Amino acid sequence: MPFNTASGSATEVLVRDAQSPFSARRTLSLVTGCRVVVASILAIGWGVAIAVYLTATPVAENTDVDDMLHSKKYLRELEGIGGKAAVFTSELNDWVAGLWHGKTLAYTIAVITALVAGAYCFSRNASRAEAAADKPPR
């Protein structure tokens, strides 16, 4: 059964050995646990990103449609109907749609993986700081 103790500058969790309830206890630092989780997130995510990058096929582009959608006449008509916001939304939609195909998908997965790992560290540190603030001083 894990329980917390304060030792030095880092909080540690004491864990009993699962094979023998009478064996010596080993300590597992919470910081080390966080690093293991972050390393696992990064290894899995970046592994998937590398696999996608290596197996990605070139994106087939329809040049006739692209020429029409990016022509000055089309953009002028779109701006006349919906204003500059419609043109911006159309360009943003094209950019976001391009993130999910081919090799750019691998880059997208790698960036999302890094963001998830960073968010995990941030939330873990924030919850530890809250727990430390809730403890009464000794």
Do 45 and 112 meet the contact criterion of CB atoms below 8 Å apart?
A: yes
Domain ranges of the chain: 35-134
d(CA 116, CA 104): 18
The tens digit of pLDDT for each residue in 39-91 reads 999 999 999 999 999 999 887 777 887 788 878 999 999 999 999 999 999 89
Q: Which two tokens stand for residue 114?
A: 């890094």
Average pLDDT of the chain to the nearest whole number:
79
Do 103 and 56 meet the contact criterion of CB atoms below 8 Å apart?
A: yes
Q: Is the pLDDT of residue 2 over 60?
A: no
Residues above pLDDT 70, as percent of the chain: 70
Backbone angles phi, psi at 55, to 5 degrees: -100, 0
**What mean pLDDT comes out for the span 28-43?**
83
d(CA 107, CA 100): 10
Backbone angles phi, psi at 100, to 5 degrees: -110, 20
Do 90 and 78 meet the contact criterion of CB atoms below 8 Å apart?
A: yes
Q: Which two tokens stand for residue 54?
A: 């290596």
Q: Is the pLDDT of residue 17 over 50?
A: no
